[in-house]
Amino acid sequence: APTPRVFSGIQPSGHLTLGNYLGALKRFAERQDQGVETVYCLVDLHAITVWQDPDALRQQTREAAAAFMAAGIDPQRSILFNQSQVPAHAELAWLLNCVARLGWMNRMTQFKDKAGKNSEAVSLGLYAYPALMAADILAYHATHVPVGEDQKQHVELTRDIAAKFNHDYGVDFFPLPEPVIEGPATRVMSLRDGSKKMSKSDPSDASRINLTDDADTIAQKFRKARTDAEPLPGDMDALKDRPEARNLVNIYAALANEAPADVLARFEGQGFGSFKPALADVAVSVLGPISGRMAEFLADPAEIDRILGQGAEKAEGISSPITARTREIMGM
Protein backbone atom coordinates (compact mmCIF):
# COMPACT_ATOMS: atom_id res chain seq x y z
CA ALA A 1 0.00 0.00 0.00
CA PRO A 2 1.22 3.53 -0.72
CA THR A 3 2.47 5.66 2.20
CA PRO A 4 -0.48 7.59 3.68
CA ARG A 5 -0.43 11.25 2.72
CA VAL A 6 -3.26 13.71 3.27
CA PHE A 7 -3.96 16.51 0.79
CA SER A 8 -6.71 19.14 0.82
CA GLY A 9 -7.30 22.75 -0.11
CA ILE A 10 -9.50 25.80 0.34
CA GLN A 11 -10.20 28.60 -2.14
CA PRO A 12 -9.13 32.05 -0.99
CA SER A 13 -12.21 33.49 -2.70
CA GLY A 14 -13.65 35.37 0.30
CA HIS A 15 -13.79 35.25 4.09
CA LEU A 16 -13.62 31.69 5.41
CA THR A 17 -16.84 30.47 7.01
CA LEU A 18 -17.91 28.26 9.86
CA GLY A 19 -18.64 25.65 7.16
CA ASN A 20 -15.01 25.78 6.03
CA TYR A 21 -13.87 25.52 9.65
CA LEU A 22 -16.02 22.56 10.69
CA GLY A 23 -15.98 20.74 7.34
CA ALA A 24 -12.32 21.34 6.57
CA LEU A 25 -9.87 23.31 8.77
CA LYS A 26 -10.74 21.64 12.08
CA ARG A 27 -10.39 18.22 10.50
CA PHE A 28 -7.16 19.22 8.73
CA ALA A 29 -5.66 20.06 12.14
CA GLU A 30 -6.86 16.73 13.61
CA ARG A 31 -5.17 14.79 10.78
CA GLN A 32 -1.93 16.69 11.31
CA ASP A 33 -2.06 15.93 15.03
CA GLN A 34 -2.43 12.21 14.27
CA GLY A 35 1.09 12.39 12.84
CA VAL A 36 0.19 11.61 9.19
CA GLU A 37 1.98 13.60 6.50
CA THR A 38 -0.35 16.51 5.65
CA VAL A 39 -0.24 18.86 2.67
CA TYR A 40 -2.64 21.84 2.68
CA CYS A 41 -3.07 24.28 -0.15
CA LEU A 42 -4.67 27.67 -0.68
CA VAL A 43 -6.10 27.05 -4.13
CA ASP A 44 -5.94 30.46 -5.76
CA LEU A 45 -5.94 28.93 -9.27
CA HIS A 46 -9.40 27.60 -8.40
CA ALA A 47 -10.52 30.95 -6.99
CA ILE A 48 -9.88 32.73 -10.31
CA THR A 49 -12.34 30.47 -12.14
CA VAL A 50 -14.70 33.31 -11.21
CA TRP A 51 -13.39 36.87 -11.41
CA GLN A 52 -11.43 38.06 -8.36
CA ASP A 53 -10.27 41.57 -7.71
CA PRO A 54 -6.44 41.18 -7.75
CA ASP A 55 -5.77 43.16 -4.56
CA ALA A 56 -8.61 41.41 -2.77
CA LEU A 57 -7.29 38.00 -3.88
CA ARG A 58 -3.85 38.80 -2.44
CA GLN A 59 -5.44 39.87 0.84
CA GLN A 60 -7.81 36.88 0.96
CA THR A 61 -4.90 34.50 0.35
CA ARG A 62 -3.05 35.87 3.38
CA GLU A 63 -6.27 35.81 5.39
CA ALA A 64 -6.85 32.16 4.49
CA ALA A 65 -3.25 31.31 5.47
CA ALA A 66 -3.83 33.05 8.80
CA ALA A 67 -7.06 31.04 9.26
CA PHE A 68 -5.23 27.74 8.66
CA MET A 69 -2.59 28.60 11.24
CA ALA A 70 -5.13 29.99 13.72
CA ALA A 71 -7.08 26.73 13.40
CA GLY A 72 -3.99 24.76 14.43
CA ILE A 73 -2.16 24.00 11.17
CA ASP A 74 1.52 24.23 12.08
CA PRO A 75 3.67 25.04 9.02
CA GLN A 76 6.52 23.05 10.60
CA ARG A 77 4.41 19.89 10.74
CA SER A 78 2.18 20.38 7.68
CA ILE A 79 3.11 21.72 4.28
CA LEU A 80 1.06 24.92 3.90
CA PHE A 81 1.36 26.75 0.58
CA ASN A 82 -0.29 28.71 -2.19
CA GLN A 83 -1.18 26.75 -5.32
CA SER A 84 -0.03 29.30 -7.93
CA GLN A 85 3.49 29.31 -6.45
CA VAL A 86 3.98 25.64 -7.34
CA PRO A 87 4.06 25.08 -11.13
CA ALA A 88 3.25 21.34 -10.96
CA HIS A 89 -0.47 22.05 -10.39
CA ALA A 90 -1.10 23.86 -13.67
CA GLU A 91 1.19 21.55 -15.62
CA LEU A 92 -0.25 18.29 -14.32
CA ALA A 93 -3.76 19.71 -14.79
CA TRP A 94 -3.08 20.00 -18.52
CA LEU A 95 -1.76 16.45 -18.72
CA LEU A 96 -4.84 15.20 -16.87
CA ASN A 97 -7.18 17.30 -19.05
CA CYS A 98 -6.06 14.94 -21.78
CA VAL A 99 -7.02 11.90 -19.70
CA ALA A 100 -10.37 13.11 -18.28
CA ARG A 101 -13.38 12.49 -20.55
CA LEU A 102 -15.84 15.19 -21.52
CA GLY A 103 -18.73 13.00 -20.43
CA TRP A 104 -17.28 12.76 -16.91
CA MET A 105 -16.92 16.54 -16.68
CA ASN A 106 -20.49 17.01 -17.89
CA ARG A 107 -21.75 15.06 -14.88
CA MET A 108 -20.19 17.39 -12.28
CA THR A 109 -23.09 18.80 -10.27
CA GLN A 110 -21.10 21.66 -8.75
CA PHE A 111 -20.44 23.08 -12.21
CA LYS A 112 -24.14 22.90 -13.01
CA ASP A 113 -24.97 24.64 -9.70
CA LYS A 114 -22.34 27.35 -10.12
CA ALA A 115 -22.94 27.98 -13.82
CA GLY A 116 -26.71 27.97 -13.42
CA LYS A 117 -28.72 28.88 -16.50
CA ASN A 118 -25.87 30.95 -17.85
CA SER A 119 -23.48 28.09 -18.60
CA GLU A 120 -22.28 29.57 -21.92
CA ALA A 121 -20.99 32.70 -20.20
CA VAL A 122 -18.86 31.15 -17.44
CA SER A 123 -15.12 30.58 -17.82
CA LEU A 124 -13.63 27.45 -19.33
CA GLY A 125 -11.66 27.27 -16.08
CA LEU A 126 -14.83 26.77 -14.04
CA TYR A 127 -15.66 23.77 -16.21
CA ALA A 128 -12.12 22.35 -16.01
CA TYR A 129 -11.83 23.02 -12.23
CA PRO A 130 -12.36 19.34 -11.22
CA ALA A 131 -9.43 18.22 -13.43
CA LEU A 132 -7.23 20.85 -11.75
CA MET A 133 -8.40 19.48 -8.42
CA ALA A 134 -7.41 15.99 -9.56
CA ALA A 135 -3.95 17.37 -10.38
CA ASP A 136 -3.71 19.03 -6.95
CA ILE A 137 -4.30 15.68 -5.26
CA LEU A 138 -2.39 13.39 -7.64
CA ALA A 139 0.69 15.66 -7.78
CA TYR A 140 1.36 14.55 -4.19
CA HIS A 141 0.33 10.92 -4.60
CA ALA A 142 -2.12 11.74 -1.83
CA THR A 143 -4.04 8.80 -0.38
CA HIS A 144 -6.62 10.63 1.77
CA VAL A 145 -8.56 13.80 1.00
CA PRO A 146 -10.58 15.27 3.90
CA VAL A 147 -13.40 17.34 2.40
CA GLY A 148 -17.00 18.38 2.93
CA GLU A 149 -19.77 16.51 1.16
CA ASP A 150 -19.87 19.03 -1.70
CA GLN A 151 -16.45 17.81 -2.88
CA LYS A 152 -17.17 14.08 -2.85
CA GLN A 153 -17.96 13.89 -6.56
CA HIS A 154 -14.71 15.69 -7.41
CA VAL A 155 -12.62 13.23 -5.40
CA GLU A 156 -14.41 10.37 -7.13
CA LEU A 157 -13.58 11.96 -10.49
CA THR A 158 -9.95 12.14 -9.33
CA ARG A 159 -10.03 8.37 -8.72
CA ASP A 160 -11.46 7.81 -12.22
CA ILE A 161 -8.76 9.97 -13.80
CA ALA A 162 -6.00 8.20 -11.83
CA ALA A 163 -7.36 4.76 -12.75
CA LYS A 164 -7.68 5.67 -16.44
CA PHE A 165 -4.14 7.05 -16.51
CA ASN A 166 -2.77 3.89 -14.87
CA HIS A 167 -4.76 1.73 -17.29
CA ASP A 168 -4.03 3.69 -20.49
CA TYR A 169 -0.27 3.77 -19.84
CA GLY A 170 -0.02 0.32 -18.27
CA VAL A 171 1.46 1.63 -15.02
CA ASP A 172 0.64 1.52 -11.34
CA PHE A 173 1.66 5.13 -10.81
CA PHE A 174 -1.13 7.15 -9.22
CA PRO A 175 -2.66 5.81 -5.98
CA LEU A 176 -6.48 6.15 -5.95
CA PRO A 177 -7.22 8.72 -3.22
CA GLU A 178 -10.02 8.18 -0.69
CA PRO A 179 -12.41 11.00 0.15
CA VAL A 180 -12.63 11.35 3.95
CA ILE A 181 -16.02 12.80 4.84
CA GLU A 182 -16.84 12.37 8.51
CA GLY A 183 -18.33 14.02 11.60
CA PRO A 184 -21.60 15.92 12.15
CA ALA A 185 -20.59 18.91 9.98
CA THR A 186 -19.82 17.52 6.53
CA ARG A 187 -22.43 19.85 5.06
CA VAL A 188 -23.11 22.98 7.10
CA MET A 189 -26.15 24.71 5.61
CA SER A 190 -26.90 28.37 4.98
CA LEU A 191 -28.54 30.16 7.93
CA ARG A 192 -31.06 31.73 5.55
CA ASP A 193 -31.97 28.74 3.38
CA GLY A 194 -31.89 25.17 4.67
CA SER A 195 -31.51 23.77 1.16
CA LYS A 196 -28.22 25.54 0.35
CA LYS A 197 -24.80 24.95 1.87
CA MET A 198 -23.12 27.72 3.80
CA SER A 199 -20.58 29.25 1.42
CA LYS A 200 -18.12 32.12 1.41
CA SER A 201 -19.33 33.02 -2.07
CA ASP A 202 -23.01 33.37 -1.05
CA PRO A 203 -23.95 37.02 -1.70
CA SER A 204 -25.85 37.18 1.61
CA ASP A 205 -23.51 37.80 4.56
CA ALA A 206 -26.36 36.83 6.92
CA SER A 207 -26.32 33.31 5.42
CA ARG A 208 -22.99 32.45 7.01
CA ILE A 209 -20.79 32.90 10.07
CA ASN A 210 -17.40 34.26 9.01
CA LEU A 211 -14.39 33.21 11.09
CA THR A 212 -13.69 36.91 11.62
CA ASP A 213 -17.21 37.84 12.83
CA ASP A 214 -17.26 39.36 16.33
CA ALA A 215 -19.37 38.00 19.20
CA ASP A 216 -22.31 40.38 18.61
CA THR A 217 -22.45 39.57 14.90
CA ILE A 218 -22.35 35.82 15.59
CA ALA A 219 -25.18 36.09 18.16
CA GLN A 220 -27.25 38.24 15.81
CA LYS A 221 -26.78 35.92 12.81
CA PHE A 222 -27.86 32.89 14.84
CA ARG A 223 -30.80 34.84 16.32
CA LYS A 224 -31.99 35.68 12.79
CA ALA A 225 -31.28 32.18 11.38
CA ARG A 226 -34.34 30.64 9.78
CA THR A 227 -36.01 27.95 11.88
CA ASP A 228 -39.44 26.51 12.50
CA ALA A 229 -41.49 27.16 15.64
CA GLU A 230 -41.42 23.62 17.07
CA PRO A 231 -39.46 22.74 20.21
CA LEU A 232 -36.44 20.45 19.84
CA PRO A 233 -37.21 16.71 19.88
CA GLY A 234 -35.31 14.03 21.80
CA ASP A 235 -33.63 12.37 18.82
CA MET A 236 -32.17 13.22 15.41
CA ASP A 237 -34.63 11.07 13.42
CA ALA A 238 -37.41 13.47 14.37
CA LEU A 239 -35.43 16.27 12.64
CA LYS A 240 -35.46 14.51 9.28
CA ASP A 241 -37.89 16.99 7.74
CA ARG A 242 -36.65 20.02 9.67
CA PRO A 243 -33.43 20.90 7.81
CA GLU A 244 -32.88 24.28 9.51
CA ALA A 245 -33.26 22.82 13.00
CA ARG A 246 -31.08 19.83 12.12
CA ASN A 247 -28.40 22.17 10.79
CA LEU A 248 -28.23 24.21 14.01
CA VAL A 249 -28.04 21.04 16.14
CA ASN A 250 -25.25 19.65 13.96
CA ILE A 251 -23.33 22.92 14.18
CA TYR A 252 -23.67 22.91 17.97
CA ALA A 253 -22.50 19.27 18.15
CA ALA A 254 -19.49 19.85 15.90
CA LEU A 255 -18.43 22.99 17.79
CA ALA A 256 -18.82 21.33 21.19
CA ASN A 257 -17.26 18.00 20.09
CA GLU A 258 -20.43 16.18 21.14
CA ALA A 259 -22.73 13.73 19.38
CA PRO A 260 -25.88 15.43 18.00
CA ALA A 261 -27.95 12.95 20.06
CA ASP A 262 -26.30 14.18 23.27
CA VAL A 263 -27.04 17.79 22.34
CA LEU A 264 -30.70 16.92 21.82
CA ALA A 265 -30.85 14.97 25.07
CA ARG A 266 -29.95 18.19 26.86
CA PHE A 267 -32.18 20.57 24.87
CA GLU A 268 -35.21 18.30 24.38
CA GLY A 269 -38.46 20.25 24.68
CA GLN A 270 -36.76 23.66 24.45
CA GLY A 271 -37.46 26.16 21.69
CA PHE A 272 -35.00 28.14 19.59
CA GLY A 273 -35.40 31.11 21.93
CA SER A 274 -33.13 29.27 24.34
CA PHE A 275 -31.18 27.06 21.91
CA LYS A 276 -29.92 29.88 19.68
CA PRO A 277 -28.23 31.90 22.45
CA ALA A 278 -26.60 28.68 23.73
CA LEU A 279 -25.38 27.95 20.22
CA ALA A 280 -24.03 31.49 19.88
CA ASP A 281 -22.12 31.07 23.16
CA VAL A 282 -20.44 27.86 21.97
CA ALA A 283 -19.61 29.43 18.61
CA VAL A 284 -18.09 32.52 20.23
CA SER A 285 -16.03 30.40 22.63
CA VAL A 286 -14.56 28.44 19.69
CA LEU A 287 -14.27 31.19 17.07
CA GLY A 288 -13.20 34.05 19.38
CA PRO A 289 -9.69 32.64 19.97
CA ILE A 290 -9.38 31.73 16.28
CA SER A 291 -10.18 35.23 15.05
CA GLY A 292 -7.83 36.61 17.71
CA ARG A 293 -4.95 34.49 16.43
CA MET A 294 -5.83 35.37 12.83
CA ALA A 295 -5.51 39.06 13.67
CA GLU A 296 -2.08 38.43 15.21
CA PHE A 297 -0.83 36.61 12.09
CA LEU A 298 -2.31 39.26 9.79
CA ALA A 299 -0.45 41.99 11.63
CA ASP A 300 2.73 40.65 9.95
CA PRO A 301 1.92 39.95 6.27
CA ALA A 302 5.61 39.60 5.35
CA GLU A 303 5.88 36.69 7.80
CA ILE A 304 2.85 35.01 6.20
CA ASP A 305 4.45 35.42 2.77
CA ARG A 306 7.69 33.92 4.10
CA ILE A 307 5.85 30.91 5.55
CA LEU A 308 3.96 30.36 2.28
CA GLY A 309 7.23 30.65 0.34
CA GLN A 310 8.83 27.95 2.49
CA GLY A 311 5.73 25.78 2.10
CA ALA A 312 5.89 26.18 -1.68
CA GLU A 313 9.50 24.96 -1.73
CA LYS A 314 8.55 21.84 0.23
CA ALA A 315 5.49 21.25 -1.95
CA GLU A 316 7.58 21.60 -5.09
CA GLY A 317 10.02 19.01 -3.74
CA ILE A 318 7.24 16.41 -3.86
CA SER A 319 5.11 17.50 -6.82
CA SER A 320 7.80 18.42 -9.31
CA PRO A 321 9.36 14.91 -9.59
CA ILE A 322 5.87 13.31 -9.76
CA THR A 323 4.90 15.64 -12.60
CA ALA A 324 8.19 15.03 -14.41
CA ARG A 325 7.63 11.29 -14.15
CA THR A 326 4.05 11.71 -15.45
CA ARG A 327 5.38 13.52 -18.52
CA GLU A 328 7.95 10.79 -19.05
CA ILE A 329 5.34 8.02 -18.78
CA MET A 330 3.29 9.88 -21.42
CA GLY A 331 6.27 10.00 -23.82
CA MET A 332 7.56 13.53 -23.26
Site residues (vs ligand ADP, CB under 6 A): 8, 10-11, 13, 17, 19-20, 23-24, 147-148, 150-151, 185-188, 197-201
Residues 73-94, buried b or exposed e (16+ Cβ, 10 A)?
bebeebbbbbbbbbebbebbbe
224 is in an annotated binding site: no
So which residues are the catalytic ones? 114, 197, 200
Provide, rounded to whole angstroms, the least separation between the CB of residue 28 and ligand ADP.
9
What is the C-alpha to C-alpha distance for residues 90 and 139, in angstroms, rounded to an integer? 10
Buried b (16+ CB within 10 A) or exposed e, 111-134: beebbeeeeeeeeeebbbbbbbbb
Q: Which residue is nearest to ligand ADP (CB)?
A: 23
The span from the CA of 280 to the CA of 223, in Å, is: 8
User: Least distance to ligand ADP from the beta carbon of 168, Å?
Assistant: 29
Q: Which of 188, 181, 179 is nearest to 21 (CA)?
A: 188
Give 14 or 75: the residue with its C-beta nearer to ligand ADP. Answer: 14
20-47 burial by CB neighbour count: b if 16+ within 10 A, else e?
Answer: bbbbbbbbbbebbeeeebbbbbbbbbbb
User: Is residue 257 annotated as involved in ligand binding?
Assistant: no
Residue 19, marked binder? yes
CB of 331 to ligand ADP, least distance (A): 34
> Minimal distance in Å, beta carbon 208 to ligand ADP?
8
- Is residue 12 marked as binding? yes
Of the two residues 42 and 280, which places its CB atom closer to ligand ADP in the complex?
A: 42
Give 154 or 326: the residue with its C-beta nearer to ligand ADP. Answer: 154
In the complex with ligand ADP, the residue whose CB is nearer, 186 or 323, is: 186
260 is in an annotated binding site: no
Binding residues: 11-13, 19-20, 136, 148-150, 188, 197-201
Binding residues for ATP: 11-13, 19-20, 148-150, 188, 197-201
